[in-house]
Structures are given as C-alpha cells and as structure tokens.
Structure 1
Amino acid sequence: MSFSSLFESGASARNKSHFATLVALAQVSGMQEEEEVVLKRFKSVLDISDSNYTEILKNPNAYPVAPPNSAEERIQWLHDLFKIVFADHRMDENEYKLLKKYATAIGYNEEDAAYLVERSIEIFNGHLNLDDYRYLLNKNR
C-alpha cells in the first residue's frame, strides 16, 4: 500500500470498490463491447483515473466491496449494477448469482436482496431511468 493511499477519501475508496464490482459483473460472462462502453461512462462518473481503470480491469477482485452509507446510495449502486448487466440486453446465470451476492454485500438482507434482484430483472427489461426504477421497486411493498 502506498503512502498516498493511506489518505484516500472514503468516497474515493467506495467509488473504486463500486467500479470494481461493475467490472466483475461485466467480466463474469465475458465482457461485451456494450458493457465496455457503459464501464467507460462509469469511469468518468465515479472519477476513476486511467491508471486505476487499467488496474481494476486486470483484477477487480482486489477491491473488496465497501458498502454505501445510505439507502439512497444502495439503490443507486443496485441500479448501476443492473445497467452494466443489461448493457448487452441479456443476463446469464453467473451474472444473476453475482447480482444476488453483491446486493447482500452492499447492505441488503438476503430476503430483500432476492426480492430486489427479481423485481429489478422485471423492471430492467423495460430500460427505465433511476426515478422510475426507484418507484417501481417500492411499489406494492
């Protein structure tokens, strides 16, 4: 660990962790071009440097999941995870298993994680924005 990394902000560490999670999801079934395009957008949004981008692509599992601090951030992260999975307009079994694992890792209990993943799959087949996604996740609950 470098001296400068000792002073890395919590937000920066969480952004790297979140980005590494997105990369792992993209790579689990072989990264497609569409997923790479979405990852590059997230690189910018999450303020990931070029060197960190390359490092994370090589080994996303080197970055443990650092769960978000708020319920709002958890929903945002879950939304991001589904955006990367559905970038190529399909979900395979490995992605499904990893989504359930990450949903619990970011702070949902197993029952809520299972519900949110199943509901999100239904929702994401319609390519919804975050506000619609949030509304539909909480509808009828």
Structure 2
Amino acid sequence: MSFSSLFESGESARNKSHFATIVSLAHSSGLKDEEKVMLQRFKSVLDISDADFEDIMKDPSKYPVTPPNTTEERIQWLHDLFKIVFADHRMDEPEHRLLRKYAVALGYNDADAEYLVERSIEIFNGHLNLEDYRYLLNKNR
C-alpha cells in the first residue's frame, strides 16, 4: 500500500472499488469493444486516474467491494453494473453469477439480491434510463 493511499478519501476508494467491480464484470465473459467504450466512460464519471485505470484493468481483484452507504447509491451501482453487462446487448452466465454476488456484496440479502438481479434483467432488456430503472425496480414490491 502506498503512503498516499493511506490518505485517500472514502469517496475515491469507493469509486475505485466500484470501477474494479465493473471491470471484473466486463472481464468475466471476455472484454468486448462495447464494454471498452463503457469502461472509458465510467473512468471519467468516477474520476479514475490513468494510473489507477491501468492498475485496475490488470487486476481488479486487488480492490475489494466497498459498498455504498445509501440505498440510492446501491441502486446507482447496480444500474452501472447492468449498463456494462448489457453493453454488448446480452448477458452471459458468468456475468449473471457475478451480478448476484455483487448485489449481496453491496448489502442486499440473498433473496433481495436475486429479486433485484432478475428484475433488472427484465428491465435492461429494454435499455431504460436510471429514473425508469429505479421506478420499475420498486414497482409491485
């Protein structure tokens, strides 16, 4: 661990953790061109430095999942994860397993994680924006 990382902000650490999770999902079924484009977007949105980007791309497992503190942030993270999975317009079984695993790591119990992943798959087949995604996840619950 570098000296500067001792003073890293909580938000920066969470952003790296979130980005590493996204990279893991992208790698789970082989990194595709569409996913590379999405990763560049997330790099910018999450304020990931070039050096951290390279490090995370090489070995995302070095960054443990640091779950967000609020329900709103958890939904945002799930939304981001589904965006990278569906960047190539399909979901592979390794991606599906990882999504369930990460939903639990984000703080959802097994039943809620399964519900959210299955419901999100249904929703994402329609390529919805975040507000529609949030609304449909909570509908009929």
1:138 CA drift (Å) = 0.4
- TM-score, reference length from structure 1: 0.99
Mapped pair 1:29 → 2:29:
yes
* Residues 40-51 of structure 1 mapped to structure 2, 5 A cutoff: 40-51=40-51
1:90 aligns to what SS in structure 2?
A: coil
2:130 partner amino acid: L
Q: Aligned residue for 2:139?
A: 139
- Correspondence 1:61-76 to 2 at 5 A: 61-76=61-76
Which residue number in structure 2 is paired with residue 79 of structure 1? 79
Inter-partner Cα distance in structure 2 for 1:29 and 1:65: 20
Which residue in 2 is equivalent to 1:12?
A: 12
C-alpha distance in 1, partners of 2:31/2:138?
31
Question: What corresponds to 2:91 in structure 1?
Answer: 91
Q: Residue 85 of structure 1: CA displacement?
A: 0.2
Give how far 1:21 is off.
0.2
Amino acid at match of 1:135: Y
In 2, distance between residues paired with 1:32 and 1:4?
33
* AA partner of residue 3 (structure 2): F
What secondary structure does 1:79 align onto?
A: helix
The alpha carbon displacement at 1:2 in A equals 1.1
> 4+ residue stretches of structure 1 with deviation over 3 A?
none
Give the 3-state SS of the residue equivalent to 1:120 in structure 2. Answer: helix
Aligned-pair CA distance for 1:79:
0.3
